[in-house]
Amino acid sequence: MSQKVCMEHVAIVLHDTRIPENIGAAARAAANMGVGQIILSAPRNFDMERVLKVATHSASGLVESMKVYSTLPKALGAFNWIVGTTARLGGTRRVNSSPADLAVELIPISLKNRVAVLFGPEDRGLTNEDLQLCHDLVNIPTAGFSSLNLAQAVMVMCYELFKARTQTPEFDIPRLACRYELENMYEELKDTFARIHYINHENPDHRLDKTRSFLSRYQLRSREVSIIRGLCRQVARYGGKCYQDGVAAGVSSGPKTQETE
C-alpha cells in the first residue's frame, strides 16, 4: 500500500508579501491541494477584503484561519521541518531537492511532524538569513525566466506534494525538534563558541552558519537538541570553574615581595 504526504500537517508560509491579491491566489492554490494551513510572516499592505476577493469562497475558510506573525522566526517556531524555496542558485544556496523529489522525501516526515514550505516576497525572494532557518531548499526549474508569480510557485509545490506517492517506508521518522528548540540550541552554541574563542568575535555568524548547515543535514529530535544544549552548559560551567580556580590560586599565593634586611 502506498503512502502520501499528510497535507493536514503542511503549512504554506508567506514571508514579507507585498500584494494582498497574491496571498488570496496562493491560498486558493493551497486549498485546491488540501494544504492544512496558511501562515503570514510580516506581511505588508495587508488587506483582508482584497485577499478574500481573489481567494474566492473555496479558500475562504483557509484564509479566515490564517495566523499572522510579526517576524519569520516566530512564524516558523512550532514547525519541525522547514523547506525554503529559492529561484537564485549558487554560492551558499545549495538546493538539495527538486519539487517532485522533495515531495517524496516529505512523506515519512509529514506523518508525525509539522512541515512548513516557505516563500519569500514577490520582488526578491528569501534572503540568505531567511534560508538559515530552513532544513532543505528547493528550486522550481524553468525554461527561461526563473522568477515565478508567488501563487504559481505555491501551486507547483502544493501539486507536487499532493500527487506524491511511495510504497510504505521501511522506517518511521518520529517527532523532530521544532524551530524554537533549534534556535535556542544555536544561541547556546554561539555563546559557547564565543567563550572558548572558537569563533571570530567580529563575525560570529560565519562559523555559526557552517554549524547550522552541518546540523541541518540531520533530523535532530528534541532529546538530541537537549544533549547538545546540556554539553554547552557543561562547557560554560567548566570554563567558569577554571577561571575561579585561577583567581583563587592567584589570591592565595599573593604577590611576591622583596624581603628587606
Distance (Å, rounded) from C-alpha 231 to C-alpha 189?
Answer: 9
* pLDDT in the model for residue 258: 53
Tell whether 130 is covered by a domain.
yes
The number of folded domains in the chain is: 2
- The CATH number given to whatever domain includes residue 115 is 3.40.1280.10
- pTM, two decimals, is 0.82
Strands 10-15 and 115-119: parallel
| For the chain, percent of residues with pLDDT exceeding 90 | 61
In this predicted structure, the answer to whether residue 168 has a pLDDT above a threshold of 70 is no
Rounded to the nearest 10 degrees, the angle between the axes of helix 150-163 and helix 20-32 is: 10
Tell whether 209 is covered by a domain.
yes
Q: Please work out, in degrees rounded to the nearest 5, the angle formed at the alpha carbon of residue 171 by the alpha carbons of 169 and 172.
A: 100
DSSP one-letter code for 138: E
DSSP one-letter code for 219: -
Report DSSP letters for 82-111, one per residue: EEEE-S--BTTB---B-HHHHHHHHHHHHT
Q: Residue 28: count other Cβ atoms within 10 Å of its Cβ.
A: 21
For the ranges 153-157, 185-189, 218-222, the maximum mean pLDDT occurs at 153-157
Domain that holds residue 100: 2-167
Q: Which residues pair with 143 in a beta bridge?
A: none
Query: In this structure, are 88 and 215 located in the same domain?
Result: no
The model's confidence at residue 200, banded by pLDDT at 50, 70 and 90, is confident
Mean pLDDT for the chain overall: 88
Q: Which residues pair with 82 in a beta bridge?
A: 116
Tell whether 66 is covered by a domain.
yes
- Mean pLDDT confidence for 212-240: 89
Query: In this structure, are 54 and 125 located in the same domain?
Result: yes
Query: In this structure, are 186 and 155 located in the same domain?
Result: no
* pLDDT in the model for residue 246: 79
In this predicted structure, the answer to whether residue 50 has a pLDDT above a threshold of 50 is yes
Q: How many CA atoms lie within 13 A of 203 on its CB side?
A: 4
pLDDT digits (tens, 9 = 90+) for 90-149: 656 567 678 999 999 999 999 999 999 999 999 889 998 999 999 999 999 888 776 789
- The CATH number given to whatever domain includes residue 243 is 1.10.8
* pLDDT in the model for residue 91: 59
pLDDT digits (tens, 9 = 90+) for 101-110: 999 999 999 9
Tell whether 259 is covered by a domain.
no
Distance (Å, rounded) from C-alpha 185 to C-alpha 221?
Answer: 12
CB neighbour list of residue 152: distance below 8 Å, 6 or more residues apart = none
Q: Which residue's entry shows cell 494582498?
A: 20
Which of 111, 139, 167 marks a domain boundary? 167
DSSP one-letter code for 65: T
CB of 191 within 8 A of CB of 200?
A: no
